[in-house]
């Protein structure tokens, strides 16, 4: 990932904004990472990968089989008591 110090970024923000469209850019402050700049599309893709809600009808057969085959590990079986309320 490319890096630029904050002073250089302030001198030529347009240059670095264009560079951030190609790949994320770390803006350094006092020789430490401070801010990451990236394209809006990359940001959306990043956020989309973090959390995705699907309706059960959108799950594949393999996903449904994996869910149905999932079991609670024995060391966490005591948590089933929480469901009794």
Q: Where are the domains of the chain?
A: 2-71
Asked whether residue 82 carries a pLDDT value surpassing 90, the answer given is: no
- Regarding pTM above 0.75, the answer is no
In CATH terms, is domain 2-71 a member of 2.30.40.10? no
Q: Tell me the percentage of the chain whose pLDDT exceeds 70.
A: 99
Q: How confident is the model at residue 85 (pLDDT cuts 50, 70, 90)?
A: low
What is the pLDDT confidence band of residue 2, given thresholds at 50, 70 and 90? very high
Using 50, 70 and 90 to split pLDDT, how confident is the model at 48?
confident
33-71 in b/e burial notation, b at 16+ Cβ within 10 A? eeeebbeeeeeeeeeeeeeeeeeeeeeeeeeeeeeeeee
């Amino acid at each position: 990932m490319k890096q630029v110090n904050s002073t250089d970024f302030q001198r030529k923000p347009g240059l670095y904004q264009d560079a951030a469209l190609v790949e994320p850019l770390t803006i350094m402050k006092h020789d430490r990472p401070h801010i990451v700049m990236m394209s809006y599309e990359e940001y959306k893709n990043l956020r989309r990968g973090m959390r995705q809600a699907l309706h059960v009808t959108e799950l594949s057969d393999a996903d449904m089989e994996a869910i149905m085959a999932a079991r609670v590990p024995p060391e966490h079986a005591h948590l089933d008591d929480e469901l009794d309320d």
